[in-house]
Amino acid sequence: MKIALAQLNSTVGDIAGNADKVVAVHGEAKRAGADLVVLPELFLTGYPPEDLVLKPAFQDAAHDKVAELAEALADGPGVLLGTIWRQGDQLYNAVVLLDGGKVGAVRFKVDLPNYGVFDEKRLFEPGPLPGPINFRDVRIGVPICEDIWSEEVTECLEESGAELLLVPNGSPFDWKKPDIRTNIAVARITETNLPLAYVNLVGGQDELVFDGASFVLNANRSLACQLPQWREVVVVTEWLKEDDIWVCAKTEIAAIDDGDAAAYQACMLGLRDYVAKNGFPGVVLGLSGGIDSALVAAIAVDAVGADKVHSVMLPYRYTSEESLGDAAACATALGMRYDTISIGPAVEGFTQALADMFAGTEAGVTEENIQSRVRGTTLMAISNKFGSMVVTTGNKSEMSVGYATLYGDMNGGFNPIKDLYKTEVFRVAAWRNANVPDGALGPSGVVIPANILTKPPTAELREDQKDEDSLPPYDVLDDILTGLVEDERPLSEIVARGHAPELVARIQHLLYISEYKRRQAAPGIKISSRNFGRDRRYPITNRFREPVDTAKKPKRKAEAPEQVAPSPDGGDMG
């Protein structure tokens, strides 16, 4: 038996376009002599379709397209296709078998995930425990994605006579996910003694990136096939039955990215698909000479090409010659368009207009944030005039503690580095200077000037300003934030890592009071297992503060010096 694994990129809501891909891959598989094509979870509708599936017209369109495809694909291999399925007044996450001109079988997802980025229980009904599908005298178990994350569904399939498991998936990327998937699959194989093919989506959908990385494990848990990440691919696998066990012949074994390489690829693919699937002609960004905007510029050029990236330096009196030089050097290295627009006249105009209102007050953060908001308005004006989408450049460290300006540096339609802490930004930028990612459209060599990687970060909103005037060193801040955000550690454990109790309490407070800003931030790529927005959903109005024993002294480091808390509306265009 030959089974084609179709790791493809669908678009949510584009039922006709997704169906065209099904037809194309069916033809390819037919020419290769395949018996069966397996597509990812909810491929026809796109995944995750969220509340779009509640729209009756959408349900009707999906149902009609399934019937149309069944007729169109009558000759050749069967197709296991993920789609929504309405039965009576119930809606299911389903897989249908198209074979011989009809819908030969339907199976429903049993275990509906309702954690992290998933919200399926409010959309779908759980299906009954399934039996295998009889496909041309082979009994195939088709658990859907989450159905293999516990043993109940696969054990039911094994007990009811399944001979192999074909698993359609919509499994979004995070740093830990590839290893987790493999471990889950191995556990199910060990319990059932059945081979398993894992077919995953690839591509970006809003904040989520699906990395593909589909694979086949034989019943002896050996790896027979490993598809690459980040790109569409169709592989026809060959299966033979030996001693009543189906065995997949060994084929392509692609390398799997991890660490900084995986993060960069996810950001690049997510931005590329967000721009393309939403029909933007390109992107525009503020290029400050700082590390964040430089990394975003590199990602943008790699994602959509230098000819579709417009970078703009927006200097004011506090912008240093060093920043001007670094920004220009970065633009030259990446080969993108670079313009300079002085914000001085606009800032002075606002200052003059507000002079009577602000009379008798000291200049401070308010005046600093006028600069940031003028920059944001300028970029939005360019976007409105020429159609390119503004990409914003704030990192996770800044967004955690509110070191960002609403309607200023937070302006934009998308943020590819939203889920990277500042220390990770530096690491990923250094990785890109030493590597050219697969599929990148940008140049090789050093694309982020070395000086940008080594100089102290600064917002340049006042004379001689440095980020560490308002924040602890980023290695300290990021370690505390990892404990608070990713791990939800008790404050006492974070203090025990060597951080001053007063500093940990202050960062906790800043994290909580900045929730209102994060709710208004642009969407951005999910990299971690706990990103803002899709995973971590805290209330804006929130008076809870975990107490910390300020009498305790750090065990590892000397107590950090007293830090000045950043303004609730601090800004950073870098």
Closest CA to 268 of 297, 292, 245, 225: 297
Structure tokens at 288: 């400050």
Structure tokens at 103: 């819908």
Q: What is the pLDDT of residue 512?
A: 94
Distance CA 168, CA 214 (A): 10
Q: What is the pLDDT of residue 252?
A: 85
Structure tokens at 38: 């397996």
Residues 158, 194: contact at Cβ < 8 Å?
yes
Q: What is the pLDDT of residue 560?
A: 38
On the question of pLDDT at 450 being above 60, the answer is: yes
Residues 434, 445: contact at Cβ < 8 Å?
no
Q: What is the pLDDT of residue 564?
A: 37
What mean pLDDT do residues 89-115 have? 95
Query: Which CATH number fits the domain 261-463, given the four candidates 3.40.50.2300, 3.90.1150.10, 3.50.50.60, 3.40.50.620?
Result: 3.40.50.620
pLDDT (tens digit per residue) in 300-355: 999 999 999 999 999 999 999 999 999 999 999 999 999 999 999 999 999 999 99
Residues 385, 292: contact at Cβ < 8 Å?
no
Task: Return residue ranges of the chain for CATH 3.60.110.10.
Answer: 2-256
CB atoms within 10 A of CB 467: 23
What mean pLDDT do residues 399-411 have? 93
Determine the residue type at 164: L
Q: Give the orientation angle of helix 291-304 with respect to helix 321-334, to 10 degrees.
A: 20
On the question of pLDDT at 69 being above 70, the answer is: yes
pLDDT bucket at 494, cuts 50 / 70 / 90: very high
On the question of pLDDT at 118 being above 50, the answer is: yes
Question: Per this entry, what is the length of the chain?
Answer: 574
Mean pLDDT of the residues in the chain: 92
Q: What is the dihedral of CA 118, 119, 125, 126, to 10 degrees?
A: 30
Beta bridge partners of 225: 216
What mean pLDDT do residues 68-84 have? 97
Q: What percentage of the chain carries pLDDT values higher than 70?
A: 96
> What are the backbone angles phi and psi of residue 229, rounded to the nearest 5°?
-90, 165
Closest CA to 568 of 397, 403, 400: 403
Structure tokens at 483: 């404990």
Is the domain 2-256 a CATH 3.30.70.60 member?
Answer: no
pTM of the model: 0.92
pLDDT bucket at 247, cuts 50 / 70 / 90: very high
Q: What is the pLDDT of residue 352?
A: 95
What mean pLDDT do residues 102-111 have? 96
What mean pLDDT do residues 191-210 have? 97
Beta bridge partners of 405: none
Q: What is the pLDDT of residue 539?
A: 83
On the question of pLDDT at 568 being above 90, the answer is: no
On the question of pLDDT at 552 being above 60, the answer is: no
pLDDT bucket at 550, cuts 50 / 70 / 90: low
What mean pLDDT do residues 272-292 have? 97
Query: Catalytic amino acids?
Result: 41, 109, 145
Task: Return residue ranges of the chain for CATH 3.40.50.620.
Answer: 261-463
Relative to beta strand 36-38, strand 78-87 is parallel
Q: What percentage of the chain carries pLDDT values higher than 90?
A: 86
On the question of pLDDT at 464 being above 90, the answer is: no
On the question of pLDDT at 223 being above 70, the answer is: yes
What mean pLDDT do residues 86-115 have? 95
What mean pLDDT do residues 534-551 have? 80
CA dihedral for 323, 328, 329, 331, sign (positive or negative): positive
